[in-house]
Amino acid sequence: MITARAFEGKRYAVFGLARTGLATARALCASGATVLAWDDGEAGRAAAEAAGIPLVNLYETDFAGLDGLLLSPGIPLHLPQPHPLAEKARSAGVEILGDIELFSRARAELPEHRVVAITGTNGKSTTTALIHHVLRENGIEARLGGNIGLPILGEEPLPAGGVYVLELSSFQIDLVQSLAVDVAVLLNITPDHLDRHGDMAGYAHAKERLFRMQKRGQTAVVSVDDDYCRAIARACGARLCAISIEQPQPAGVSVLNGQLAADGAVLGNQSEWPRLQGPHNAQNAAAAFAATRALGLAPEKILTAFKTYGGLPHRMEFVAEVGGVTYLNDSKATNPTSTAPALAAYPAIHWIAGGKAKTDELDACLPHLGNVRAAYTIGAAEELFANLLAPHVPVEKAGTLENAVKLAASRAQPGEVVLLSPACASYDQFRDFEARGDAFRAAVSALQEAASA
């Protein structure tokens, strides 16, 4: 794990003991800090006890003298209502931070390294994994962390010359004060998490904080294809590399009509990258190219690595073909803008959608409904999505994912696709989007077993 003498002798409260919170508590203890840990759930407390982490009911604890309250990113600081422990910390003058800020403060004690951080509404995980893949394929030690992979403090420190590649959500950036990354990447900003940020301006401001922490000489890779990103690009204090999939960038990177161009010269063809097809992956590839160029890799080495990138689980992932019908798991699509590329990619889709809605519209998906043979709505958004889609496509309210898979399988014809791309968060019925994707795989596996019986 990553530890630091900077934490030795200090007292921290850690609230939320899932993977990230537990890794944070363990790293602090190993650094010589005093840790007061708590979780509202029995499972989190049991995991902490098993790891030897002291448990203290923080609701009943005096916060005077604490050096910080460590919160998991999902815990609200302000909206829709501040968590009671966040308010308690503010009243006591106690700093509120997250594991990424602890990593930032530990950096001075780590072997010489660089950090790339990726944010945006959609495409973060693919771009993060792609950058990590390009580095590893070129012999550079790299670690994934943040919103993907293992919690960063639970990772082993890299040797000198390594690169930490961090996917950062707006929630994580809210808990960071000092992370000046060598390369910061912003892909796009579309409506998401508005209950936590109040409005689009608040959401964009959270993303912008990553770039305000950068120093001159560092690199900001920013898409200039939406108004919010363009505004952030104009305000960057770091060296700007603009990327686009809508217009040429004479002094940046663009992917237009499948051609990747950097500094005005065409260098590669998207058709050569099997797992990076579609406009959304064009943007991801442009960002990854710009970021790894900023780290010093030659264009030909980057593009060679693009050819061997294998894709991500839960992102337009092929699961199986049963009776001539293809089943695809796009559980990571947790908002309409993230779902739209999947709907655009296939001509005959049986679409499973729903969960905990982040918006009350499906506007980004509407232009692609000509590809949808039928929709099957599930979860808390079942009624909302059924009402939105009924004027356009046949809809069945399936309730559960398992039932939706059965219904779609009974209606899909050979050559068609059954697509789980929920356009919603998973928290109404599942622990996270991974658990939802795993449930989809299990349901498809049951279809395979029935077909072979």
> Annotated catalytic residue: which of 122, 147, 188, 371?
147
**Cβ proximity of 441 and 372 under 8 Å:** no
Neighbouring CB atoms inside 10 A of 422's CB total 34
What are the respective helix, strand and coil percentages of the chain, to the nearest 5? 40, 20, 40
Secondary structure letter of residue 249 according to DSSP: -
Secondary structure letter of residue 389 according to DSSP: H
Q: Is 193 a catalytic residue?
A: yes
SS3 182: coil
The H or E element spanning position 174 is helix 170-174
The residues, any chain, with a CB within 8 Å of residue 101's CB and separated by 6 or more, are 175, 176, 177, 178, 179
> Annotated catalytic residue: which of 113, 193, 205, 350?
193
In the block, tokens 């890779």 appear at 221
> Annotated catalytic residue: which of 83, 88, 113, 124?
124
Rounded CA separation 147/142 (Å):
16
Q: Is 124 a catalytic residue?
A: yes
Nearest to 358 by CA among 343, 389, 379, 344: 379
Q: Give the CA count within 13 Å in the CB-facing half-sphere of 421.
A: 28
Rounded CA separation 293/135 (Å):
11
**Cβ proximity of 405 and 443 under 8 Å:** yes
SS3 12: strand
The residues, any chain, with a CB within 8 Å of residue 448's CB and separated by 6 or more, are 320, 322
Distance (Å) of CA 52 to CA 22, 144, 181:
10, 26, 33
Tokens representing 296?
Answer: 């010093």
Q: Is 147 a catalytic residue?
A: yes
Rounded CA separation 120/280 (Å):
12
Catalytic residue numbers read 124, 147, 193
